[in-house]
Amino acid sequence: MKIQCNTHLLSEVCSTVQRAVSQKSTLPAIEGILIQTKNSKLLLSGYDLEMGISTSIDCKTEKEGSIVLNARLLCDILRSLPAEKVSIQVDEHNLCRIHSGDVDFSLIGLPADDYPELPSVSGGYNLNVKQAVLKEMIRQTIFAVSTTDNKLVHKGIKVEVFEGNLRLIAVDGFRLALRNEPISYTGDELSFVVPSKTFVEVMRLSSSEEENIVLNVGKRIVSFDIGGYSLVSRLLEGEFLKYKSTIPNTYSTLANVNLRLFTESIERASLIITNKNKSPVRCIFDEDTIKISSTTALGAVNDRIPAKIEGKRLEIGFNNTYLLDALKVCDTDEIRVELNSQISPIIIKPLQGDSFLFLILPVRLKSE
């Protein structure tokens, strides 16, 4: 193989592809990036057997070929090169020479035959979603993905497609995040679970407000075509929480409250809560006012904000982090808060519509 291409562009795409490379494996090839030439294109792939990223860039090709190079070393070298152009030459013994300006590197690579084939989706279902929309939907749910649940399926985000709607759901045993968005889709109903790691990469690759992401959903594999990159991932298997049964359909107390005021008050109450000094945030919903307080070994804070409240007076406690995580991803000026009792979950919704729903389990309050 013998090619020449733009140094900065190659460095940029290698750094992106590297995010799918295994950090430590008994299979040396998947710690590397597969580099191939085809029709004046340089093809690059990273794959850790669970998720893969591939792309291509223009290059001047004198001789076609392929090689696998250690991803970390290759990316470090490309970032250090001084000249605008870089040439890569590979001999029959997989000795790779990288030349740029007055700099020469020689690396021992692995044959491309050692690299596992990236999976692909055949005969799947196609979805088109704007990059900005899917990125925002992921941001508004990924915070609630479990990091400790023994069920692997809860370490991903469930995707449901039905009746022209796209829905994302994440749960972690203490909270639930749900996000809805209408899409143009008339095919069969779909339900699958995408690993959170994969959706993190979807967010990173999404840079356009108007361009679409093309999803191709298979039985065990999903692929995303995003801005010149192809991202492929295995789906998580297992029984996801039957989340609909956990969402109360009635309430005894309803509060409509300004999102900014509520968020800022919870942030103030959180200032005296630390890992060493844990305490729930206490909220009292009563007579068009929400009283917010917290007490720890560091001190105490009391605050109140106006709200439109219907129903009975209710005093309830929350983990401050869980509550703030939800409030910070709401995208409306005002929110609707539904409650039932001290031991029932709080529901946070927009005033109008059903674009999002956040459920948070309360924390038992000690009597003062």
pLDDT given for residue 367 in this prediction: 67
Contacts 24+ apart (CB under 8 A), 19-24: 19/46, 19/53, 19/201, 19/204, 20/46, 20/47, 20/48, 20/51, 20/52, 20/53, 20/201, 20/231, 21/46, 21/47, 21/48, 21/71, 22/48, 22/49
Q: Which residues contact 123 (CB under 8 A, 6 or more apart)?
A: 218
Pairing of strands 2-6, 60-63: antiparallel
CA distance 181 to 223: 20
Q: Domain residue spans in the chain? A: 2-114, 125-243, 247-360
CATH no. of 2-114: 3.10.150.10
CA distance 359 to 347: 5
User: Which of 273, 325, 27 has its CA nearest to residue 147?
Assistant: 325
CA distance 199 to 214: 14
SS3 (DSSP) at 213: strand
Fold exhibited by the domain 247-360:
DNA Polymerase III; Chain A, domain 2 (3.10.150)
Residues in the chain predicted with pLDDT less than 70, given as ranges, are: 367-368
**Per-residue pLDDT tens over the stretch 158-199:** 999 998 999 999 999 999 999 999 998 888 999 999 999 999
Q: What are phi and psi of 153, to 5 degrees?
A: -60, -25
pLDDT given for residue 278 in this prediction: 86
Question: What is the layout of strands, in order, in the sheet containing 32-38?
Answer: 66-70, 32-38, 41-47, 51-58, 229-234, 221-226, 212-217, 125-130
How would you label 43-57 residue by residue, b for 16+ Cβ within 10 Å and e otherwise?
bbbbbbeebbbbbbb
Of all residues in the chain, the percent with pLDDT exceeding 70 is 99
Fold exhibited by the domain 125-243:
DNA Polymerase III; Chain A, domain 2 (3.10.150)
User: Which of 116, 76, 78, 240 has its CA nearest to residue 169?
Assistant: 240
CA distance 344 to 226: 41
pLDDT given for residue 208 in this prediction: 84
pTM score, whole prediction:
0.94
SS3 (DSSP) at 309: strand
Q: How far is CA 201 from CA 185, 194, 233, 319, in A?
A: 24, 11, 11, 29
**Per-residue pLDDT tens over the stretch 295-320:** 999 999 999 999 999 999 999 999 99
Question: What is the layout of strands, in order, in the sheet containing 356-360?
Answer: 190-195, 156-162, 165-171, 175-182, 356-360, 346-350, 334-339, 253-258, 308-311
Q: Is the dihedral of CA 339, 340, 343, 345 positive or negative?
A: negative
The yes-or-no answer to whether 2-114 and 125-243 have a common fold is yes
**End-to-end distance of the chain based on CA atoms, in angstroms?**
75
CA distance 167 to 220: 19
